[in-house]
Structure 1
Amino acid sequence: MMKFGLLPRIITAIVLGILIGLIAPNPLIRIFATFNGLFGNFLGFIIPLLIIGFIVPGIGAIGKGSGKLLGWTAAIAYISTIGAGLLAYFTANSLYPSMLAGQSLQEFANPEEALSAAYFDIEMEPLMGVMTALLLSFLFGIGIAAVNSEPLLKLANDFRSIIHLVIEKIIIPLLPFHIFGIFANMTHAGQVGSILNIFIKVFAMIIVLHIAYLLIQYTMAGSVQKRNPLSMLKTIIPAYFTALGTQSSAATIPVTLRQTKHIVKNDKVADFAVPLLATIHLSGSTITLVSCAMAIMFMQGQSAAFALMFPFILMLGITMVAAPGVPGGAVMAAIGLLESMLGFGPAMTALMIALYITQDSFGTACNVTGDGAITAIVDRIGQR
């Protein structure tokens, strides 16, 4: 029998979620929301452990060159994020005067309030925050490599095996159901259509920019790996569709990691780079934030001069690292910058949150797909 792979299951979950969301009564949607809440809490609990489980043995096993690869990974991720913001700025600055002519600012409520609530919730507090997990991973990974400790490396590898088991037996099988519930709830609430109907042109431009930037990233990755960039991009597509449903780079790490290992030569590089990039590389989210912010500023009659937007883009690349691995995390982390650097008031901020959350999945999907390209570049650097 042909195996029903992860990608078909994800696509099926998305389609069924939209169809069921159109006809299901609210009590049924609340059951889906309850499952999503529990599964989301479990993901929040496991993500710091997943980061430690992959990054520590990944860095430790690479050895003395780990510090160099870590630096290259962080530098390339930041450059990629800034490049995405600049692409969005120059495109929006060129197209918005004609695309949004005659539009005026309207205030929308936060779309999260329209979603059906869960029947109950069980708190699953993570042992530590994402940044704490990253710092511990760097400390122990580089430390293991520096002292060349075989017992500690074996312990880290054994812990990674446990995390792999959790991913394979719990997270991956339940992921399509989680995606199904998210799309059913969003469709039932009607939040996607009400906002997209007004900003369809902006969203269309954002998606085109996402695709264009992914092609740029994979063209570069393919050139350094001497492989067909379209073939590499096709391999990573399951991660794109997974992120489309989960709206979380961190929650998509298992799928991103699995697919990325097919386009790199050193699996150990993928083991530490993919979890790291899920936190620090947000090119898709940056494209979305810059595009949406400039659209709101344009409709408000505010200037979006390069001297104003470039420092904002530079700070986004740093500030969003603190964004939690949950839907809408990037825009929540960016609110302070929107208000302090771009002068957003309450109405503009509320609209920004509404716009971003509605299409957050596309930015996240661009983020994780780009992670594969950067990992491939870092893998090539590590071969030198």
Structure 2
Amino acid sequence: MLKNVSARLGTLFAGSLVKQIMIGLVAGIMLAWLSRDAALAVGLLGELFVNALKAVAPLLVLVLVISSIANHQQGQKSNIRPIVMLYLLSTFFAAVVAVIFSYLTPQALTLTVGATEITPPSGITEVLRGLLMSMVANPITALMNANYIGILVWAIGLGLAFRHSQPSTRAFLTDASNAATWLVRCVIRCAPIGIFGLVASILASTGFGALWQYAHLLSLLIGCMALMALVVNPLLVFSKIRRNPYPLVFTCLRESGMTAFFTRSSAANIPVNMAIAKRLNLDEDTYSISIPLGATISMAGAPITLTVLTLAAVHTLGISVDLPTAILLSLVASLCACGASGVAGGSLLLIPVACNMFGIPNDLAMQVVAVGFIIGVLQDSAETALNSSTDILFTAAVCQAEADRIPSRI
């Protein structure tokens, strides 16, 4: 009896994760439609899933980056530099796209201004200071607070230090990396159950009313992200591989973007991207570093959220914005996006930083954040799908471009 149950569970977990997630999504919608109380009760499953992702993702990034750098042999070409350049270019272009379409279709928010006085902006010194302080944060604190910039800095430093360690130590780091990856895969395999609980509880508690209230704003956000995924990113990929980029683009969106859409965590989607890279026969020395790195600094969706919501607040409050200021906003949004948390909703908490550029006080900025959380069910999912699929897309583009150049040299 136990063997039969174990065999059936093994078959279930070995099936297509995307299909299982879709089943969980449909089941959650049906439960919310049939019984509101039951849907709220199963919300615990969703909370457990999200908290498990939040708990394991920082540790995964730390261990993967340390192991990848420590085991990288000197003289091996990893092609990290062109991948990082693509990451940064995509992030900046995403902010520019958001600025352009925010000008073309200005948005208005419902904000309680009251007697709050708007003061002139004091510059971006605090932005840079916060970024630097995040870099030198205590590693334990960085892990506890999911400070991915601090985690990345410590991981790079420790990885470089461990390159001089004994082979047995580097072998242990490899085992630790494999163990952390296995643990995250186990959590992700529970995604269908977690999505079932999340969707059911969200629909039971809020319904679609809150989403329809901001449907225009949500459509602008998702439209900008779709433009990045289907136009801008393919152009960047074409500049590398010099052939039709869309087969690779659609593969990454289908296999990486779909799971990231539901898990809503770039960091937790690292094992999925690693598996895709292995199946595409990419250079392991490259993707073992670029994928964890991309989960931290490749945030093409985050500057769209930051820019669109900030300019919506600016338009609502009647603050005039010229083109140089909008370009500066793009730069700040790109900078903030690199420090965005790799877990669900991380970019929304950076909105006050961008709002500060226009002298918008923190209490109004937090109202904008609240609007972001209202539409966050779809916004954050689409943002994470763009972020995570971009990681594997650019890694594959650079690896394939390098592979195409090698025969020509021979």
What TM-score, normalized by structure 2, do the two folds share?
0.76
- Give the equivalent residue in structure 2 for 1:122: none
- Give the equivalent residue in structure 1 for 2:149: 131
Instruction: Kindly indicate whether residue 224 of structure 2 is the aligned counterpart of residue 209 of structure 1.
Output: yes
Deviation at 1:81, TM superposition (A): 0.9
How many residue pairs match? The answer is 358
* Residue in structure 2 matching 1:38, options 40, 48, 55: 48
Instruction: Kindly indicate whether residue 380 of structure 2 is the aligned counterpart of residue 360 of structure 1.
Output: yes
Ranges in structure 2 where 5+ consecutive residues have no aligned partner: 1-10, 113-141, 406-410
After superposition, the Cα gap between the structure-2 partners of 1:275 and 1:255, relative to the gap in structure 1 and judged at 3 Å, is same
**C-alpha contact (below 8 Å) 1:82/1:317 kept by paired residues:** yes
What TM-score, normalized by structure 1, do the two folds share?
0.81
- Give the equivalent residue in structure 2 for 1:335: 352
* Residue in structure 2 matching 1:374, options 377, 381, 394: 394
**C-alpha contact (below 8 Å) 2:86/2:236 kept by paired residues:** no
Ranges in structure 1 where 5+ consecutive residues have no aligned partner: 109-124
CA distance in 2, matches of 1:128, 1:294: 28
**C-alpha contact (below 8 Å) 1:179/1:245 kept by paired residues:** yes
After superposition, the Cα gap between the structure-2 partners of 1:43 and 1:345, relative to the gap in structure 1 and judged at 3 Å, is closer
CA distance in 2, matches of 1:44, 1:222: 35
CA distance in 2, matches of 1:134, 1:173: 26
After superposition, the Cα gap between the structure-2 partners of 1:264 and 1:172, relative to the gap in structure 1 and judged at 3 Å, is same
Deviation at 1:283, TM superposition (A): 0.8
After superposition, the Cα gap between the structure-2 partners of 1:347 and 1:164, relative to the gap in structure 1 and judged at 3 Å, is closer
**C-alpha contact (below 8 Å) 1:206/1:287 kept by paired residues:** yes
- Give the equivalent residue in structure 1 for 2:125: none
**C-alpha contact (below 8 Å) 1:232/1:263 kept by paired residues:** no
- Per the alignment, in what secondary structure is the counterpart of residue 251 of structure 1? coil
Q: In the TM superposition, what are the counterparts of 1:199-278 in structure 2 within 5 Å?
A: 199-215=214-230, 216-225=232-241, 228-236=244-252, 237-263=254-280, 265-278=282-295
Q: CA RMSD in A?
A: 3.1
Q: In the TM superposition, what are the counterparts of 1:4-23 in structure 2 within 5 Å?
A: 4-23=15-34
Instruction: Kindly indicate whether residue 36 of structure 2 is the aligned counterpart of residue 25 of structure 1.
Output: yes
Aligned amino acid, residue 133 of structure 1? I
1:230-284 Cα shifts (integer Å, max 9, x gaps)? 2212322232122222222222222233224344621332222112111111111
Tell me which moved more, 280-289 or 292-301.
292-301
Aligned amino acid, residue 373 of structure 1? L
- Give the equivalent residue in structure 2 for 1:113: none
Q: Equivalent pairs: percent with the same residue?
A: 21
Instruction: Kindly indicate whether residue 65 of structure 2 is the aligned counterpart of residue 47 of structure 1.
Output: no
Aligned amino acid, residue 18 of structure 1? I
Larger Rg: 2
1:294-341 Cα shifts (integer Å, max 9, x gaps)? 233223322232222222221222233333333221110232331344
After superposition, the Cα gap between the structure-2 partners of 1:370 and 1:16, relative to the gap in structure 1 and judged at 3 Å, is same
* Residue in structure 1 matching 2:99, options 65, 81, 89: 89
CA distance in 2, matches of 1:137, 1:328: 23
CA distance in 1, matches of 2:238, 2:49: 36
